[in-house]
Amino acid sequence: MSDIAPPASVPANVIETLPIVIAPSPILKAHARAVGSADQDAVRALIPRMFETMYKAPGIGLAAPQVASGLRVIVIDLQPKDQRAPYALINPEVVALSTDLATREEGCLSLPNQYADVTRPARVKVRYLDQTGARLEIEAEGLMSACLQHEIDHLDGILFVDHISALKRNMLMRRLAKEQKLKKPDARR
C-alpha cells in the first residue's frame, strides 16, 4: 500500500468523517474479513476517514466495523502528552498475551456513555501491516495493550461488554437503548 491520501472527492485539507455504528447493530457482531490486495484503494480511502472520525468523536481507537466497514483495519492514537501518535493497523493479529492480568475502565464509541471495568492480559504483542504493506509488530502494556485488544476484539465481533457479567452487560445495553431512544427525534412532529 502507498501513502494515504484523502479520497478524490474530498479537498486535500478536508477529510470527511464517517457515521459511527451504535450497538446492537449486527455489523458489530460480525467477523471482519482480511484486507487483500484488491482492497488497497478502499483501505487508502478508509484510514484517514477513520482517524478523522475517531478524533472528532473523540476517542483513542476505532475499528472498521464501527464505521460499517467489514475490513480488518483499526486505528489508534493515545495522544500522549497531547501530541498525535497515530497507528493504523491492517490485518492485526495477536501473537502473544501475558498471563498476568490488568483491569481498567473501558468505554466504546459504539456504546456511547457506557463504561465498565474489563480484565484483560496486561501485555500484548500484535503483528500487522502498515499502510505501506510492511509487516510490523508492536508490544504494548497499560492503556495501549487494552486499546489494541479492545479494537482487535471488534474485528472478531466482540464488544467490551462481552467481557463483563451478563447482569452488568444487560444493564449497560438497556441504558444505552434508553439513551438512544431519547436522542431520536420524535416521529410525530
Choose the catalytic residue: 16, 141, 151, 179.
151
Instruction: Say yes or no to pLDDT of 121 above 90.
Output: yes
Q: Measured on CA atoms in the order 17, 19, 22, 24, is the torsion positive or negative?
A: negative
User: What DSSP character marks residue 16?
Assistant: -
Q: Contact, 49 vs 42, CB < 8 A?
A: no
Residues 2-48 have pLDDT tens digits of: 344 444 444 456 789 999 999 999 999 999 999 999 999 999 999 99
Catalytic-residue membership of 52: no
Q: Contact, 109 vs 127, CB < 8 A?
A: no
Q: Please provide the average confidence, as pLDDT, over all residues in the chain.
A: 92
Nearest to 16 by CA among 40, 57, 59, 50: 50
Residues 81-118 have pLDDT tens digits of: 889 999 999 999 999 999 999 999 999 999 999 999 99
Question: What structural domains does the chain harbor?
Answer: 26-183 (3.90.45.10)
The gap between the terminal CA atoms of the chain, to the nearest Å, is 49
Quote the pTM value.
0.89
Which of the four pLDDT bands, split at 50, 70 and 90, describes residue 186? low
Residue-by-residue DSSP string for 99-149: SSEEEEEEEETTEEEEEEEEEEESEEEEEEE-TTS-EEEEEEEHHHHHHHH
Proportion of the chain in helix, strand, coil states, percent, rounded to 5: 35, 30, 35
